[in-house]
Amino acid sequence: MQIGSQTLAPLVRKLSLHAPLSQEDQAALLALPHAVRNLELGQYILREGDVPTHSCLVVSGFAIRHKITGNGGRQIVNIHLSGDMVDLQNSLLTTADHNVQALSRMSAAFLPREAIVELGFSRPAVGKALWLETLVEGSISREWITNVGRRDAQTRVAHLLCEFAYRLDAVGIGPECNYELPMTQEQLADSVGLTPVHVNRTLKALDAAGLTKRSRKSVVITDLQKLAETGDFRSTYLHLPPHALPKHHQ
């Protein structure tokens, strides 16, 4: 258990995105008690039915949240990047209603729930920032419902790829609009409610159209502008501060 290191810097970075935090607020965040763990690809951070005591911050790498349906289908409901608090969702709920799993090798910081909640209420600026994070996540969820419910395969996949581009850019990963996505086609499929086979064909089409370039287990976006058109993507729902947006997309 560490106190006061710089491990939590990505959290401060993320929370300051919308409204600046005072030095004291930042210090208080960095001083949160936490334990860092390195997780292997595929390792579960939380399983449906668990009663979590800690929230988890993604320090590096990727994590997904997913649900399993009665007939064995899997639906990924969220993907978390560096700086994301994966488990604020469960911070006040007793029983986890979904699974959280490492999408890659990753490093995560585990923070006791009460410490976070306490800090949120003792420092309103921090509390608001945390709340805002939750709200943005809700917004993303709504967009995902729309994506999966009302868009065709091509559009869906393109949309997801765009979301990634913007979110990765916002946390400062990846050069310009040329991003790499370390997801298998099966995982992409589970994110957009399609089969892996169909995702494969869809990616091939995007590739042929010159919007992406693929290699194994990853996708590179070559033309974000056109991809956004194809994907019916407008970034408003991400509620990113203006300066964080890729330039050519104001």
Partner DNA sequence: CGTGTTTTTGACTTCAGTCAATTAAAGTGG
Partner DNA sequence: CCACTTTAATTGACTGAAGTCAAAAACACG
**What does the alpha-carbon distance between residue 158 and residue 83 come to, in Å, rounded to a whole number?**
24
Contact 170, 238 (CB under 8 A): yes
Per CB under 8 A, the list member of 42, 51, 131, 217 interacting with a second copy is 131
Q: Which of DNA, a second copy, none does 142 bind, CB closer than 5 to 8 A by kind?
A: a second copy
Per CB under 7 A, the list member of 184, 222, 237, 249 interacting with DNA is 184
Site string for a second copy, 72-111 (x = CB under 8 A): -xxx-xx---------xxxxxxxx-xx-------------
Q: Write b or e for each residue in 191-206: b if 16 or more Cβ atoms lie within 10 A of its Cβ, otherwise e.
A: bbbbeeeebbebbebb
37 binds DNA (CB under 7 A): no
200 binds DNA (CB under 7 A): yes
Site string for DNA, 128-167 (x = CB under 7 A): ------------------------xxx-------------
State in angstroms the smallest separation of the CB of 182 from a second copy: 21
Binding site for DNA (CB under 7 A): 152-154, 184-186, 193-198, 200-201, 203-204, 214-217
Binding site for a second copy (CB under 8 A): 65, 67, 69-71, 73-75, 77-78, 88-95, 97-98, 117, 121, 124, 127-128, 131-132, 134-139, 141-146, 148-151, 155, 192-193, 232, 236-237, 239
